[in-house]
């Protein structure tokens, strides 16, 4: 039996999950967490802070600090909902849209290059396996929580 933890450790390193910053766009250093936040805001139409924090599985305090950094970088705008000013929605600024699109393009290019080293059958098998793994992880009682 293969050492599964070792497989995931190596994959995490190769994806750069351990890097402090995932990328640099227009002179801005973007952390992996910030990259995920930008991606989720790009995917959704004016999501609330709570919606994005829940999607990423982050506690609201840590998430709010990351959003504040993105606001200071002028990548994200935080605006209260007119009907409930206690809820803030997140919007990408034009610069934020540019940065998110560049990161997305870089990741897609990277994945395209990785998959180019596989046959169509192998690529489809890997993609289906990732879908199966994501589904199984969503059903796990310990997913996204330390096992300590």
CA dist., res. 5 & res. 84, Å (int): 45
Instruction: Write out pLDDT tens, residues 67-109.
Output: 999 999 999 999 998 888 888 899 999 999 999 999 899 889 9
Q: Among residues 48, 33, 32, 26, which one has the least CA distance to residue 97?
A: 26
Q: What whole-number distance in Å separates Cα of residue 44 and Cα of residue 55? A: 11
What token pair was written down for 68? Answer: 């504040």
What pLDDT, on the 0 to 100 scale, is given for residue 146?
45
Tell me which residue has tokens 């796990």.
140
* Residue-wise pLDDT tens digits, 11-37: 888 777 666 667 777 777 888 889 999
C-alpha distances in Å from residue 73, one per residue of 58, 89, 95, 96 = 21, 17, 9, 9
Tokens at 70, concatenated: 């993105």
Residues 34 and 90: their CA atoms lie apart, in Å, by: 13
Contact 23, 38 (CB under 8 A): no
Q: What is the pLDDT of residue 78?
A: 94
> Residue 29's pLDDT is what?
85
Q: What is the pLDDT of residue 23?
A: 76
């Amino acid at each position: 039996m293969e050492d599964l933890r070792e497989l995931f450790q190596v994959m995490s390193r190769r994806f750069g999950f351990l890097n402090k910053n995932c990328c640099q766009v227009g002179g801005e250093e973007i952390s992996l967490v910030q990259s995920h936040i930008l991606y989720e805001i790009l995917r959704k139409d004016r999501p609330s802070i709570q919606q994005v924090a829940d999607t990423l599985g982050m506690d609201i305090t840590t998430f709010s600090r990351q959003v504040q950094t993105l606001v200071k970088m002028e990548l994200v705008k935080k605006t209260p909902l007119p009907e409930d000013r206690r809820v803030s929605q997140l919007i990408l600024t034009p610069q934020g849209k540019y940065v998110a699109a560049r990161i997305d393009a870089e990741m897609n290019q990277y994945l395209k290059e990785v998959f180019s080293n596989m046959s169509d059958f192998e690529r489809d098998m890997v993609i289906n396996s990732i879908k199966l793994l994501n589904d199984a992880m969503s059903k796990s009682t310990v997913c996204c929580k330390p096992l300590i």
